[in-house]
Amino acid sequence: QKEVEQDPGPLSVPEGAIVSLNCTYSNSAFQYFMWYRQYSRKGPELLMYTYSSGNKEDGRFTAQVDKSSKYISLFIRDSQPSDSATYLCAMRDQAGTALIFGKGTTLSVSS
Amino acid sequence: GAGVSQTPSNKVTEKGKYVELRCDPISGHTALYWYRQSLGQGPEFLIYFQGTGAADDSGLPNDRFFAVRPEGSVSTLKIQRTERGDSAVYLCASSPWGGLTEAFFGQGTRLTVV
């Protein structure tokens, strides 16, 4: 079992839909949780960062961490065609220097 | 350009050859990371520099891979005796102090070994 599991999709939604992206993980020591967006042939771009459990909101994006279930989510409200990209979850423990990434979920938002 | 710059953007090489991939981090960033992203996968950690020294090289897959950062800015990832399995996008990221929450990634070098 990989440390971080993420359904690769693809996920296709119409413009304006609410999108839910998820990752599960096995290492209970993970404390830092990130979501990255990666457009085709580009490097990952940090979208959201959460420390430990809880919710964080930034505009149309909400990140949730449930450490008891080892489950993290990213919600995108009012999705736009420009949101079409691959979304990567990533996490690390308190002392670690390396981020552990999921495989990424490919999202397509149609207008 | 204020971002992380990686050159070349694409590299095709023959099996068994030696390659060097270059990363120019954001000016003033002391931390530099190399990751490798295979098709359909998330990035996998290779090595982390803090200044000139490799603080964590636990992700390097074998001794054919080596990276340097002699003056604490530009870094070069070196791969000897390339194999077809080395084909991937090699990503570089830098951050001001080592915090991955402020790491900025370059666009990557797409390496193809034929």
B72-91 pLDDT, tens digit each = 999 999 999 999 999 999 99
Q: How far is A13 from chain B (nearest CA, A)?
A: 20
Give residues with Cβ within 8 angstroms of A72, minimum separation 6.
Answer: A22, A23, A24, A25, A33, A50, A63, A64, A65, A66, A89, A91
Q: Residue B26: which of B72, B68, B60 has the closest Cα?
A: B72
- pLDDT confidence tier of residue B98, bands split at 50, 70 and 90: low
Q: Residue B35: which of A95, A87, A8, A90 has the closest Cα?
A: A90
List CB contacts (< 8 A) between A44 and chain B.
43, 91, 105
Asked whether the beta carbons of residue B91 and residue A44 sit closer than 8 angstroms, the reply is yes
pLDDT of residue B66: 97
B45-74 pLDDT, tens digit each = 999 999 999 989 999 999 999 999 999 999
Cβ neighbour number for residue B55 with a 10 Å cutoff = 13
pLDDT of residue A57: 96
Q: What is the mean pLDDT of residues B103-111?
A: 94
pLDDT tens over chain A, length 111 residues: 679 999 888 999 999 999 999 999 999 999 999 999 999 999 999 999 898 888 999 999 999 999 999 999 999 999 999 999 999 999 988 777 788 999 999 999 999
The answer to whether B104 and B34 are in contact (CB under 8 A) is: no
Whether the per-residue pLDDT at B3 is higher than 90: the answer is yes
Q: How far apart are CA A65 and CA A51, in angstroms?
A: 9
Asked whether the beta carbons of residue B105 and residue A97 sit closer than 8 angstroms, the reply is no
User: B31 to chain A: nearest residue by CA?
Assistant: A97
B13-24 pLDDT, tens digit each = 999 999 999 999
Q: How far apart are CA B78 and CA B64, in angstroms?
A: 8
Q: What is the mean pLDDT of chain B?
A: 94
Q: What is the Rg, in whole angstroms, of the alpha carbon atoms belonging to chain B?
A: 13
Whether the per-residue pLDDT at B27 is higher than 90: the answer is yes
Give residues with Cβ within 8 angstroms of B82, minimum separation 6.
Answer: B13, B14, B15, B16, B17, B18, B19, B64, B111, B113
User: A10 to chain B: nearest residue by CA?
Assistant: B40
- Give me the numbers of helices (H) and strands (E) for chain A, helices first please: 0, 11
pLDDT of residue A103: 95
pLDDT of residue B47: 96
Q: How far apart are CA B80 and CA B82, in angstroms?
A: 5
Asked whether the beta carbons of residue B101 and residue A102 sit closer than 8 angstroms, the reply is no
